[in-house]
Structure 1
Amino acid sequence: MPFTTEIQPGVHQETPKATRGFVLNHSMLRVKDPQVALDFYTGVMGMRLLRKLDFPEMRFSLYFLAKLEGETAPEDVGERTAWTFSQRSILELTHNWGTESDPDFRYHDGNAQPQGFGHICFAVPDLDAAVAWFDEKGVTFVKRPDQGKMKDVAFIKDPDGYWIEIVQPDKLTALGL
């Protein structure tokens, strides 16, 4: 029988029919300065900006980013917007206008007390090469792969202090065993 789900308390073994076709499209992070955040996510993490949406009446902008490896988004803005909202693994950066001008402004990163949100994660083909790249770019590490009890897992910080887990999937086969 093919694998469908691990069995744990609270887990439904059957997918509700009403949820067929549901896709986790994006996760959102609030950013202080979009130029700094976009530089990091496009220049360090290699993501592409798919769409920017401005909401002047509410004074905020949304930036939708993704890793596009060999695929292209539609040129037409309306079609690209619909395409963006049909994808998987999108990162939405939300910028509330004016935060970039306030030197004391900070968002809670979720890992300081009281803890809440934890991190996002990128899988990489070569963890050592990724660590070298992050070092070259001056990225701040929370944890390097050889530190702590959980080996072969790194955590870095983005410009707003959010944690990003970095893993090489084939090095994790014994994780949690």
Structure 2
Amino acid sequence: MSFSGEQHPGVSASAPQTQGFRLNHTMLRVKDPERSLAFYSRVFGMQVLRRLDFEEMRFSLYFLANLDAADQVPEETEARTAWTFSQKGLLELTHNWGTEEQEEFAYHDGNAEPQGFGHICFSVPDLNAAQAWFDEHAVTFVKRADQGKMKDVIFVKDPDGYWIEVIQADLMAAMGD
């Protein structure tokens, strides 16, 4: 029998109608797309799969992913758009036009009061190497791997102040109860 998920109060069995459902992307609003795209591509190695502009509503969407060499991304725009919306674990950066020109403009990061949204997370093959990479790129740390009660977990901030958790999968095996 295959794993069917941990059971906790409130958890229901998956309905057959939900077969094929998958989490496609998480969206973050960004003030300056050039700055955010530079950060996510340079520091986290993400590539833009697709940009969609909505001129009438004055915003753009950027869909980013960490691609593997084996990923078969279509070159043709419509096929690539459909492929993008069939993937798992994408990051959507939403830019409302004009925010980059407003000096005091900032989005709520979800960690200041009142708390709400918390963070996104990247898994890396070597946590210490990632931490050194972040240092080389002057990334703002919230918490380093050797700090706080949860060791072997890093938190950094992106250009808009959103928190990014960084973990190494095998170091997480013994976490929690």
TM-score category (smaller protein): over 0.9
Alignment of 1:1-177 (within 5 A): 1-12=1-12, 14-70=13-69, 71-177=71-177
Give the root-mean-square deviation of aligned CA atoms: 0.7
Partners of 1:152 and 1:41 lie apart in 2 by 22
Residue identity in the other structure for 1:161: G
Residue identity in the other structure for 2:22: V
Q: Provide Cα deviations, 1:30-83, integer angstroms capped at 9, x if missing partner.
A: 000000000001111000000000001000000000000111310000000000
What SS does the corresponding residue of 2:154 show, helix, strand or coil?
A: strand
- Percent identical among aligned pairs is 66
**Could you tell me how far 1:129 is from its partner in structure 2?**
0.1
Partners of 1:146 and 1:102 lie apart in 2 by 37
Q: Provide Cα deviations, 1:121-144, integer angstroms capped at 9, x if missing partner.
A: 000000000000000000000001
Partners of 1:108 and 1:160 lie apart in 2 by 9
Q: Provide Cα deviations, 1:95-118, integer angstroms capped at 9, x if missing partner.
A: 000000000000000000000000
TM-score of the superposed pair, with normalisation by structure 1: 0.98
Q: Which runs of 5+ in 2 are unaligned?
A: none
What SS does the corresponding residue of 1:62 show, helix, strand or coil?
A: strand
Q: Which runs of 5+ in 1 are unaligned?
A: none
